[in-house]
Amino acid sequence: MMFAVSWNLGSAFLFLNFLPLNFGYWNTMIANQGTNNFDVYMFWGWIPTILILVIGIFWSSGLLGKMGEWMENL
């Protein structure tokens, strides 16, 4: 949970403040793709956070290990 929250906040901080958002190329690329900086935050912030939480739920419930055993038996 702590990793997911830190990824969410950290990725938003990194991608929106330190990556080439201030360069003309980045702004041109974003505009040509028909998106904006908020969409970049949604992709790099929320999607990995949701995946981390889902994997954590499977892992803590023991289902991740069971799925590994099922895959070995195939």
Per-residue pLDDT, 63: 85
Tell me: the pLDDT tens digits for 24-70?
Answer: 776 777 778 888 777 877 787 788 888 888 888 888 888 878 888 88
Helix then strand then coil, in percent of the chain rounded to 5, is 85, 0, 15
pTM over 0.75: no
> How many whole angstroms separate alpha carbon 60 and alpha carbon 29?
40
Distance CA 42, CA 66 (A): 32
Q: Could you read off the pLDDT of 3-21 as tens digits, one per residue?
A: 777 877 777 677 766 765 5
* Predicted local distance difference test score (pLDDT) of residue 21: 55
